Structure 1
Amino acid sequence: MALISLLLLAALLPQLGHSASVHVGIVNGKVAQSRPYMVSLQVRTQHFCGGFLVSEQFVMTAAHCKYKGKPWTDVTAVIGAHNLKTNSFQRIQLMHSYSHPDFKMDPKYPENDIMLLKLAKPVVNKKIRIPEKDEDFKENITCSIAGWGRIGNNGPTNDVLLEADVTMLSSKNCKNWWNFNNILCTDSHHGGFCAGDSGGPLVCNNTAVGVIAFYEKTCINPPRPYGYTKISAFLPWIKKIMGK
């Protein structure tokens, strides 16, 4: 019920006049190549958010994906799936969730939207690297995103993992569009993400640099760029949590 409520909230946000919609399938995508680090977060086998392995025992995702209606014992992480209707993947229980302490579930302020999930057992040789230091990006770099979300505002969800190329905006340009801290932006007129893709990675040069977080009003050609949480801005917190 809580998951349904969150999805309804996301659908209502534009009418309520908020600046960004959270809980956001891959738009203009294609069937993905091998991405063993991808994670589908599920409740009773139903996908609701993406994520990605950043170590043998930790999944990174968006903090707004936290499923408040049920204890996290009801949430499982499906690791390395391509088609969610097959059984060629690992399903692992979660031990603990760590949302960033400064995150607020407020679509007006989608900052600090990052969470780490500790798995009940380790997964070997499937992680993706994350940045080692804080860094900015040049305009027009081609990166990629992937997920099992909707392919449009009212489109169906996907059982098969899709991916799309996206074009990075510079930090300055991103700040001009969204006056938030510690975010990254990609152009809104080509590939993008939609409901169900939240928490997945923004990948540049085989490195996860961002977490899929928010868009404005519509997931197809939104009026402002797609927004991501900038991973490198949270490295001290990430290292602290992963040391537990």
Structure 2
Amino acid sequence: MFFKICFFVILSLFAENVFINCQRLKIPKHLSLKQLLTRQEAKRSKDFIESGLGKNRQMRVVGGFADEYNIHKYSVSIQRRRDAASVFKHRCSGTIISDYHILTAAHCFVSRESQLRRISDMRVFVGSNRLDTPGRYVSIQYIIIKKRFSYDPWNNDIAVITLEESLSVDNDLFLEKMALPEPTELLLENETGYVAGFGVYKYQQHQDEATGMVIERPVFPIIRHVINVKVVDCKKRNPKFICVGSTDENMNTRQHIADGDSGGPLVVGNAVVGVVGVSDKKAKLSVRPAFMTRVSYFLNFIKEAMSTRYSHYVGIRFL
């Protein structure tokens, strides 16, 4: 009897403590269940980025803001290694468009010397807004690139990745599909949207003790970031392209769309309307608009690539 009484006393104290802690927990009304699940992760992300800089170092925001609450779950990291003995590193960003398919840029898989990357040395990271936290690593089955892709002149910079396993997006709170635009989508001029990716978005500055010079190095991608942009007029009026500029003419950032954002989505409304290409990432968007691949122009290619099935290893194919 004594032990039973002790057990119920301890149990009641535990329940009271849980109730008190729950009462103290303040849940913002504007956050959904999905966002709440990643709030603590976002706090760790912010603490991680802002810590360990030292007294003589400064972090300068390149452009945009961190996706701290993992809202943009359709954005993925495409990673590559040099060989089987090397580690995987972030190379490009991409967009989930189905359980098996990622939309991205062709130049992520083809060098300027027209050399194709090896499928075995690439993978896709999904399910987290941070590259240093648990997510899912998914193998690539094959990649289909739009034929006649080229760097100079820049042309047909679009590709579709087919994964080896289903992402089961509808059953995963940390994943989301992005819709494709309507075929009738035209210029979208003056529409506002955003670019989401894992590109370098901060620079670390420190003073070299020997020379006294201030050295600036990019901080490698850690957390997904988002850049607000405005669709602007492309002077060339090429139907394959879509151009974006800055939403803030007074931004003092060196760039907005950064290295590592390549292949990531330009989102307007609830659809991916553009794919980040090989624009000059050293220039401000307020000075020089960024050219992107217009998704609506390549809808037939995308749908054909998604419906194509290979029963054997094909690596990278052109369609």
**Does TM, scored on the shorter chain, surpass 0.5?**
yes
- The answer on 1:165 being equivalent to 2:208 is no
How do 1:32-43 residues align onto structure 2 when only pairs under 5 Å count? 32=67, 33=69, 34-43=71-80
Aligned to 1:241, the other structure's residue is in SS state helix
- Report deviation, 1:27: 3.9
Question: Structure 1 residues 212-221 or 123-132, which shifts more?
Answer: 212-221
Unaligned residue ranges in structure 2 (runs of 5+): 1-60, 81-86, 170-175, 204-216, 309-319
The answer (yes or no) to whether the contact 2:201–2:225 under 8 Å persists in 1 is no
The answer (yes or no) to whether the contact 2:156–2:293 under 8 Å persists in 1 is yes
- Report deviation, 1:133: 1.1
Quote the Cα distance in structure 2 between the aligned partners of 1:27 and 1:83: 18
Residue number in structure 2 paired with 1:113:
157
- Report deviation, 1:56: 0.8
Quote the Cα distance in structure 2 between the aligned partners of 1:69 and 1:102: 14
Q: 1:29 aligns with which of 40, 48, 64?
A: 64
Question: Structure 1 residues 140-149 or 57-66, which shifts more?
Answer: 140-149
- Report deviation, 1:219: 3.8
Unaligned residue ranges in structure 1 (runs of 5+): 1-25
- Judging changes above 3 Å, is the alpha-carbon distance between structure 1 residues 195 and 241 closer, same or farther for their aligned structure 2 residues? same
- Report deviation, 1:111: 1.8
Aligned to 1:86, the other structure's residue is in SS state coil
Question: Structure 1 residues 26-35 or 195-204, which shifts more?
Answer: 26-35
Quote the Cα distance in structure 2 between the aligned partners of 1:152 and 1:82: 16
Q: 1:130 aligns with which of 170, 174, 180?
A: 180
The answer (yes or no) to whether the contact 1:152–1:219 under 8 Å persists in 2 is no
The answer (yes or no) to whether the contact 1:194–1:219 under 8 Å persists in 2 is no
- Report deviation, 1:138: 3.6
Aligned length: 211
- Report deviation, 1:69: 6.6
Residue number in structure 1 paired with 2:172:
none
1:140-179 deviation per Cα after TM superposition (whole angstroms, max 9, x unaligned): 211011111122685222201110110111xxx21x1x46
Quote the Cα distance in structure 2 between the aligned partners of 1:70 and 1:137: 33
How do 1:170-181 residues align onto structure 2 when only pairs under 5 Å count? 173-174=233-234, 176=235, 178=236, 180-181=238-239
Q: 2:143 aligns with which of 87, 97, 109?
A: 97
Superposition RMSD on alpha carbons, in Å?
2.2
- Report deviation, 1:223: 4.4
How do 1:140-219 residues align onto structure 2 when only pairs under 5 Å count? 140-151=190-201, 154-169=217-232, 173-174=233-234, 176=235, 178=236, 180-188=238-246, 189=249, 192-216=256-280, 218-219=282-283
Residue number in structure 2 paired with 1:243:
307
Q: Which runs of 4+ in 1 moved over 3 A?
A: 67-70, 178-181, 188-191, 219-223
- Report deviation, 1:81: 2.0
- Report deviation, 1:37: 1.1
Quote the Cα distance in structure 2 between the aligned partners of 1:40 and 1:211: 14
- Judging changes above 3 Å, is the alpha-carbon distance between structure 1 residues 57 and 222 closer, same or farther for their aligned structure 2 residues? same
Alignment-mate amino acid for residue 45 of structure 1 = F
Q: 1:83 aligns with which of 130, 137, 144?
A: 130
- Report deviation, 1:221: 4.3
1:13-32 deviation per Cα after TM superposition (whole angstroms, max 9, x unaligned): xxxxxxxxxxxxx9421111
The answer (yes or no) to whether the contact 1:143–1:203 under 8 Å persists in 2 is yes
- Report deviation, 1:239: 1.1
Structure with bigger gyration radius: 2
Alignment-mate amino acid for residue 183 of structure 2 = K
- Percent identity between matched residues is 28
Normalising by structure 2, we get a TM-score of 0.61
Normalising by structure 1, we get a TM-score of 0.79
Alignment-mate amino acid for residue 168 of structure 1 = V
Quote the Cα distance in structure 2 between the aligned partners of 1:217 and 1:46: 20
